[in-house]
Chain A
Amino acid sequence: MAILDIEGNPIGSLSLHLESAEVATAQIQIRCIAGKFLRCDPVDDALIEAKLSTDTLYVNIETTPIDLTPFDTLNKIFDLRFTASSVLLRVFHDFKVYAR
């Protein structure tokens, strides 16, 4: 199981800066293993969603993990969508996206 960027390099951490109410999308690649799920920690002030890049509907992976079993052994590209809430003061949140 591995989380990679779209060029295939392993990625472990990054910083993301969003303006209030901004929506940003990103792409990651996952080397899938049966029995594993794409999910993330609950995050305040933001909605974290994901979908297989070929799908159309995003899923809230804070509450609904995506089962990676159908893609066992395959490298698949997933779209991540970050939707920031409206904030009046600058806020920071650290969270993790898992593929396990």
Chain B
Amino acid sequence: MPIIEEFKAVQSMAQFNGSTSIFANLGQHQGMAAQIHGSTQVTANLANRISLSANFQSSTTIDCVLRKQGERNIDLSANIQSSTDFEATLRAKYGLYARFDGSTVISPNIIASEAEKDELNIHLEIYPSSSFLDNNQVLSGRLLINDEEVFITGLTINANRNQVGTEISIDLARTIDRALLVTSNIFKVQLGAAVSGVMTWYTVLDTGVLIKDSYSIGWNNNAPTDKVVFTTNQQLRDKLNKAPMRETVFYNSYYTTLNSDSYETVYDTEGRAYSVDLVPIAGMTLYSIFYNVFVLRCGFTSYQTNIEDFEVKNCTIDNGQRYLEGIGGLFGNFNPIIFEDSGILYILDATQLLPPGFPAPKQITTRRYSSVNITKDQQDVEGYIVTYSGTDKDWDFYVVTLKESTVPSGTFGDTNYLTHYVGTYTREYRRFSQPFVTVNSVIEKTIKRVRNSDDEIIFESRETFVFDYLGREVRRDKYVDQSIPWLKDNLTGEIIYSFQNVRFENDISEYAQDPYERDKQYRKTYTKTIRGLIYIDNSQYLNGQFQQEWLIAWGSGNLTRFDDVNKKFGPIWTRTETEYPQANGTCRLHEREFDHVNDLVLLDQEGEQVGATSINGSVPKQLKTIVYEYDGYVPQGKTLLSMSLNEIPFTIGKALVRRLLKSIRTKGHDLTMEYTGINLDIHRGTPICAIGRNVNGEDEVLGNFLVDAYSIVAKNLGQETQTINSTFQGKEI
């Protein structure tokens, strides 16, 4: 009968055993472990977000798809065993480990390097047409303080490279107006153009605040040259200058539970306490941090970004550190262009190229500009050394070695002569980087064998250990066979010995995802069972049936009966340990021991244990790799730059690095264009196509650029000689 199951839950563990075929479809968001055994066919589709471990066994065919959803994937592991053949498709966005064991044909298809993207973030900007204003029109600029116009003679607008926000320096026409330069006033700056005698004003700064003012007195040509200059900027900078008064830790509560006791409380000289501000966010991502910081704490209405979202485990901002700097490490690699419009904060990925197939940027002809300058620093770079967070085992592969020894005892030729053989199979874990160095070793199998003087085996024990894909012990089996007194010859009264299986020990450990630390696992249950040969005797002095383990009965002289009903092979003793992790890092341990021979509960208790119970399923560590521009690139021995991805998933980081490398190789020009007038279309983040000279009737395309800085200078405002000139800078994309 096929077993059909479907699970959609927060956390689950599933085990499927089927004698014919199994079709399994598992999908959930956090932790899942699945074990699927089918004797003929297994068809499984496992989809999960955080951790997924699967174990498939089938004697005929296995058809399974393991797939991680979204960008929040961490580990995917599969253990697939088949005695005939199977096909498996494993897809993971971050970590993937797969083990395949098959006796005939295995066709695994593992795709782990490239994330499949099923969503495309688009930042769309629509601007009014015909925004280019030149000095053929009447241009002007004006200042309004609290919505009242104040006369000015000049202004300079600077949106500098690698700086957030815009600064405007203004020369006041009347020095008396310097009384208006107070921080409580709101400044608005506008540029205007007169079309057919009607002046239209365009606001370039709204709700600006005073950040600097200066007043100078001077004489020149027997006339005063007194001057008042002040600088204002957008409140954007005020919002982005905000900093927490307490150390603030945003953390992903899927993975861990933080306790404020672990942090130091700081006191000021007035005795005020500044304890840590712990902010748990379930399934925290870059976007949830943006929302918590930019909207809830900095005061923006909302934020918009085209940087891809990814899961973040922890983000700490020191008290007094600007929020923007505190979280900047998460997304700084994208060289973001940050600006505000109508209270919305825009964070644009400046590394994004224009994908082939998308429309080219708007053309800007140089014929309207007074000067154009294109420069490029040649960089001989062929790759990046990328450091990223990952999980790993501390070994890559293992080899099994066998050590044997045979030791005699007694005197050769006498009946007391014995040979003792010990064979030990050791699993030696090693790294690819140092293949001959053993990182760690564990015993996989031990065989002990004793032969008598007639070379007959009189004792043999076989102990085997089974480990999972992370090298953890999941099972131990020990068989003990021994030559024991078995029957009594009714004629001679002589005890006849027989080589029998007298004892079987079995340990089983099961691991589960820690509910409080999602990237860790703990040993959920440990069961040790001893089965063995049991001696049964009703003729003893005890009331009722006397039972004792055969080996003990033999050793203590209790063996008196040798018939068919005085022996059985059955359970002797069982011990189980079950762990229940607690939120505070401790665990409750339930221990139970049962004596099957005497039908007695030896132990049944539960207690709290101090200390974390979790063990690392895999080892979180900093991994390093070299990324070249494209698959199949042959290294030339050129310069490698370096980049630390921090919490950016490798798949997103790899694409980012490749964009940068392509840009270095094929692009990388810097553009500076100066022109007379104002182009209101151009601001930070505007992609433009620069057009050069017209040669033989063809416009030369100088390249596509992303504007990242600009300045506007207005002079002699209110006079006949007034001019407005602009400059913008861009990086080639």
| A95-B352 Cα distance, complex, nearest whole Å | 16
| A91-B127 Cα distance, complex, nearest whole Å | 6
B117 in the interface, Cβ–Cβ < 8 Å? yes
In B76-118, the 8 Å CB interface with A consists of: 114-118
| Cβ-closest chain A residue relative to B71 | A12
A66 in the interface, Cβ–Cβ < 8 Å? no
B359 in the interface, Cβ–Cβ < 8 Å? yes
Q: Nearest Cβ distance between residue B683 and chain A, in whole angstroms? A: 8
Which of B120, B305, B344, B349 has most chain A Cβ within 10 Å? Answer: B120
Q: List 8 A-B contacts (CB under 8 A).
A: A10-B116, A13-B307, A15-B687, A17-B687, A26-B357, A26-B359, A90-B128, A94-B305
Residue contact B115 to A20, C-beta cutoff 8 Å: no
| A6-B355 Cα distance, complex, nearest whole Å | 8
Contact with A along B125-169 (1 / 0, CB 8 A): 111110000000000000000000000000000000000000000
Residue contact A14 to B114, C-beta cutoff 8 Å: no
Q: Nearest Cβ distance between residue A66 and chain B, in whole angstroms? A: 14
Residue contact B125 to A9, C-beta cutoff 8 Å: no
Q: Nearest Cβ distance between residue A7 and chain B, in whole angstroms? A: 5
Residue contact B355 to A11, C-beta cutoff 8 Å: yes
Contact with B along A16-30 (1 / 0, CB 8 A): 111111101111100
| Cβ-closest chain A residue relative to B348 | A15
A60 in the interface, Cβ–Cβ < 8 Å? no
Contact of B118 among A1, A24, A46 (CB under 8 A): A1
B213 in the interface, Cβ–Cβ < 8 Å? no
Which of B118, B123, B349 has most chain A Cβ within 10 Å? Answer: B118
| A24-B117 Cα distance, complex, nearest whole Å | 23
Residue contact A89 to B128, C-beta cutoff 8 Å: yes
| A5-B120 Cα distance, complex, nearest whole Å | 11
Residue contact A25 to B359, C-beta cutoff 8 Å: yes
B344 contacts which chain A residues (CB < 8 A)? 92
A85 in the interface, Cβ–Cβ < 8 Å? yes
Contact of B126 among A10, A28, A46, A99 (CB under 8 A): A46
Q: Nearest Cβ distance between residue B667 and chain A, in whole angstroms? A: 16
B223 contacts which chain A residues (CB < 8 A)? none
Q: A15-B306, A15-B352, A90-B125 given; name 7 further pairs at CB < 8 Å.
A: A13-B121, A18-B127, A20-B129, A25-B359, A91-B127, A93-B304, A94-B305
With an 8 Å Cβ cutoff, the count of chain A residues facing the other chain is: 47
A5 contacts which chain B residues (CB < 8 A)? 355-358
Residue contact A2 to B124, C-beta cutoff 8 Å: no
- 6 interchain residue pairs of minimum CB distance: A27-B357, A13-B121, A6-B357, A13-B306, A94-B304, A5-B355
Contact of A2 among B117, B128, B341, B655 (CB under 8 A): B117
| A24-B354 Cα distance, complex, nearest whole Å | 14
Given A46-B124, A99-B119, A100-B119, A90 contacting B352 (CB threshold 8 A): no
B361 contacts which chain A residues (CB < 8 A)? 17
A36 contacts which chain B residues (CB < 8 A)? 118
| Cβ-closest chain B residue relative to A92 | B125
In B686-705, the 8 Å CB interface with A consists of: 686-687
Residue contact A15 to B128, C-beta cutoff 8 Å: no
Residue contact B124 to A12, C-beta cutoff 8 Å: no
Residue contact A92 to B123, C-beta cutoff 8 Å: yes
| A31-B115 Cα distance, complex, nearest whole Å | 13
| A68-B125 Cα distance, complex, nearest whole Å | 29
B308 in the interface, Cβ–Cβ < 8 Å? yes
Given A3-B120, A17-B687, A87 contacting B128 (CB threshold 8 A): yes
